[in-house]
Amino acid sequence: MIDLIIIIMAGIVLLFLLSCCFMVARLLDEEISMYGYEGKENWEREQLPDKLSRSSTDERHGDK
Mark out the alpha helices in 1-64 (DSSP H runs): 2-35, 39-61
Interacting residues of 17 by C-beta distance below 8 A, sequence separation 6+: none
Single-letter amino acid code for the residue at 11: G
Which pLDDT belongs to residue 3? 94
What pLDDT tens digit does each residue of the chain (64 aa) get? Answer: 889 999 999 999 999 999 999 999 888 887 777 766 665 566 666 666 655 555 555 555 555 4
Backbone angles phi, psi at 6, to 5 degrees: -65, -40
Enter the pTM of the model.
0.47
d(CA 33, CA 26): 10
Q: How much is the pLDDT for 10?
A: 98
Cβ neighbors of 64 (< 8 A, separation 6 or more) are 58
